[in-house]
Amino acid sequence: MINLKGMTWDHSRGYDPMIATSKAFANKYNNNVSIRWDKRSLQAFADRPIEQMVEEYDLMVIDYPHVGEVSAKGLLQNFNVDEHLDKLESLKKESVGSSHQSYNIDGYQWALAIDAASQVSCFREDLISKIPLSWNELDNLANDNKVLWPLKPVHAISSFYSIYNNLGKEFDPSNRNFVERKFGIKTLEMMKQIASKLIKECFTMDPIKTAELLSETDDFVYSPYVYGFSNYSRSGFRKNILTYGDVINLSNKGPAGTHLGGTGIAISKKSEHKDLALEYSYWIAGSECQKNLFYSSGGQPGNIDAWNDDSINLETNNFFKNTKQTLNLAWVRPRHNGYIKFQDKSGDIINEFLQSNTKESFVIDKLTTLYRESFDK
């Protein structure tokens, strides 16, 4: 018996597909191969360094900003393996937006996109007659106490980027001077305008909790920037079905520049079973598995063939059709070695700012200094 271990996140979207696909993969080898998955909360998952995980796990579900670190430190097995190069090229063509390419740095593919997401809007179609199409309309809805916005630190910085990128020129991650000052200040002003009218729980809330409240109660009807969870658009998953769509167009650019999320499957450089890990990873990222077993077991595919599938869209209240444009126009976060620490600190700063009387200019100056320092590795 060959045993592999994997680590993923603990929502059904992150865990159930790994269990289902691992069982099917084991069956292929007459159960002489086993993949056992551990799971942690999103925060605990983010807090544990990949350097530690590669010592214990063969397979890991990761977020793409880590690729700068893993590339610099040689922690993962890259997917540029001769016998799989044709599959790698196919997956590049089957990417939803930049999902696949986000795990590529220095010409090497460090993970395969298995899950695609970006910040989109979310609402209760049965409770709202007209979704906000402008910031003023969003403000009016917030005045009625009908808006939820997950602003836990990591999501606060995510929303900052999404708004900033749509207001003006997208932030270039290679620019060590961080964002353009006037648009950065404007972004913070807009965020505080809405944040001042939210329930206090929003400042510790993540997208899962947001979706839970929207789907299980009738107290709130809309969330402007939240990572899409197609599970909540499936009949029977929760009490009420959620509808996901594009974010507010702030500058006639369409829903461009939102914060790209999703996850990829990665392989530890220290795994003793790299061939099997590669085979499994390529299979679950491929079109056939993504639009069938991966999706049917609760996953949110990262392959465009699944996103374009009519039956999948029918079952998910057109989640994929409604958010595909946003995904295709989504922005890839910085990925340099040192960025993860900036992401953590900057989220705390923005989260605190939204609950205080701190000046926007002071916050932008502080973030700019931190961003410059993140390159000093």
Residues 354 and 227 in one domain: yes
Q: Are residues 193 and 342 both part of a single domain?
A: yes
Q: Are residues 224 and 344 in the same domain?
A: yes
Rounded CA gap, 264 and 63, in Å?
Answer: 6
Q: Do 34 and 109 have their domain in common?
A: yes
Q: In this structure, are residues 80 and 88 in contact, taking their beta carbons and an 8 Å threshold? A: yes
For residue 333, being part of any structural domain is answered with no
- Do residue 278 and residue 247 come from a single domain? no
Q: Are residues 169 and 221 in the same domain?
A: yes
Domain-located, residue 24: yes
Q: pTM for this structure?
A: 0.93
- Full 3-state SS string of 56-94: HCCEEEECHHHHHHHHHHCCEECCCCHHHHHHHHHHHHC
Domain count, the chain: 2
For residue 287, tell me if it sits in a domain.
yes
By C-alpha distance, which of 278, 279, 308, 302 is closest to 13?
A: 302
- β 59-62/263-268 pair status: antiparallel
Range(s) of the domain holding residue 75: 2-117+261-328
Same domain? For 129 and 192 the reply is yes
Which structure tokens are listed for 262? 């999703």
Q: Return phi, psi of residue 367, to 5°.
A: -65, -40
- Residue 12 in any domain: the answer is yes
- Report the CATH number that the domain containing residue 40 is assigned in CATH: 3.40.190.10
The reply to whether 247 and 124 lie within a common domain is yes
Nearest to 42 by CA among 58, 57, 61: 61
Looking at the fold, whether 275 and 364 belong to one and the same domain comes out as no
Residue 158 lies in a domain: yes
Q: How far apart are CA 267 and CA 271, in angstroms?
A: 7
Instruction: Print pLDDT tens along the chain (377 aa).
Output: 899 999 998 888 999 999 999 999 999 888 899 999 999 876 666 666 788 889 999 999 998 988 888 888 999 999 999 999 999 999 999 999 999 999 999 899 999 999 999 999 999 999 999 999 999 999 999 999 999 999 999 999 999 999 999 998 899 999 999 999 999 999 999 999 999 999 999 999 999 999 999 999 999 999 999 999 999 999 999 999 999 999 999 998 999 999 999 999 999 999 999 999 999 999 999 999 999 999 999 999 999 999 999 999 999 999 999 999 999 999 999 999 999 899 999 999 999 999 999 999 999 999 999 999 999 86
Cα dihedral across residues 99, 100, 103, 107: positive or negative: negative
Question: Are both 125 and 225 inside the same structural domain?
Answer: yes
Does residue 285 sit in the same domain as residue 349? Answer: no
- For the stretch 289-323, what's the b/e string if a residue is b when 16 or more beta carbons lie within 10 angstroms of its beta carbon? bbbebbbebbbbbbbbebbebeebbebbbbbbbbb
